[in-house]
Amino acid sequence: MDDPDLSALMDAGRPYARLDHDLGIFSTRSPLRSNPLALTVIKLASVDVEAGIIETPYFDAQDGTPVLDLKPNTPSIDRVERPQLPAWCAHWPGSVETSGDFDWAGEFRF
């Protein structure tokens, strides 16, 4: 996203229903961010090395977004067994596998 107006965007307001305070833009997964880099765990469905294309069933980015790096998920480095979560999202599902049945529409104010 090459919008110069986004370079000053730091406040996300209260985008989640259970928030009682404003969040900084980097505390969200908003595509409207002053820095276009993000980190996301994905499941690869397929890789076309010659065309430089990866396919995934879900990716929180705009179509055509360049991927700068791919790393394997290694539990000894990447997994946090007991993460400390903010109260406003502590009730969210504990994994991507269980999040499909969650009422996400009730969580957002946008």
Look at residue 106 in the predicted model and tell me its pLDDT.
93
Look at residue 1 in the predicted model and tell me its pLDDT.
47
Look at residue 3 in the predicted model and tell me its pLDDT.
62
Look at residue 70 in the predicted model and tell me its pLDDT.
85
Look at residue 4 in the predicted model and tell me its pLDDT.
63
Look at residue 54 in the predicted model and tell me its pLDDT.
86
- Rounded CA gap, 28 and 58, in Å? 17
Look at residue 7 in the predicted model and tell me its pLDDT.
62
Question: In a 3-state reduction of DSSP, which class is residue 84?
Answer: coil
Helix (H) or strand (E) segment spanning residue 54: strand 53-55
- Rounded CA gap, 95 and 58, in Å? 14
- Rounded CA gap, 8 and 54, in Å? 32
| pLDDT tens per residue across span 4-61 | 666 677 888 888 889 888 888 877 777 677 777 777 888 889 999 999 888 888 777 7
